[in-house]
Amino acid sequence: MGGNVIQITSTIFGNINGVQFQGNHGGTANTENGTSSSSIQFTAFPLDFTPLACRSWACKHHLSVCMETGGAINLLNLAGGNYDTEEIVSYPGGGQITTTSQVRLANPSLETCQQAFNGNIQITKEILLLEPFTEILTPDGPGRAIKEGSRRIVFSDDSSIIITWTGIVMFVDQSLELPFSQAIDYTYLSAFFDRQNLLFTKKLVAVARRT
């Protein structure tokens, strides 16, 4: 597939630290260079957590719209952009967030997603830096792939934590099989959470490669 700009939308909901929330996500992604730009308008959000400290709030799309290099294949081309995910994000000290998603290609230029995030983890420090990170996809037989990765978050006091996640991707077409292991490399261009207005904005690049 050549260069292709796709609109991406999500409905995000869940409960973190006892606070129920919902968010509406919208943005665009370019599969030619892997860049995406998006925002999430939340209706509420826990005061003792930040969207910057999770795996990612729109990451489920990037498996589909990441740039392909070196023979890698994104899930738009492999699975038509239609798949579900389940994963657990783990924090030092035992905190966890469980997240699920249903990603669907509504038409050739629009991908939609329903996402849920639930768990307990308190992070109140100001975040200074989100380092580049990698997620690995590994074949797991027909209809499934394993997804796992880690990411380092640096706080303004120069302390840091590493969060990890593991889970599965389930293709809507259960006959499909990921043909090889591959990595998706993520680099944030910008990310900001305006807590007063409950608005999260980000830009990043996602590039797939064979491992």
The pLDDT mean for the chain works out to: 93
**Would you state the pLDDT for residue 53?**
86
Euclidean distance between CA atoms 141 and 160, whole angstroms: 36
- CA 31 to each of CA 6, 42, 67: distance values in angstroms, whole numbers, following the listed order: 8, 27, 5
CATH architecture, domain defined by 5-210: Beta Barrel (2.40)
DSSP 15-27: EETTEEEEEEEEE
Greatest C-alpha distance within the chain: 49
pTM of the predicted protein model: 0.93
- The tens digit of pLDDT for each residue in 129-152 reads 999 999 999 999 999 999 999 999
**Would you state the pLDDT for residue 61?**
79
- The tens digit of pLDDT for each residue in 43-77 reads 999 999 998 888 666 567 789 999 999 999 999 99
Instruction: For residue 184, give the nearest of 92, 64, 88, 52 by alpha carbon.
Output: 64
Is pLDDT of 114 > 80? yes
Structure-block tokens of residue 176: 């499909």
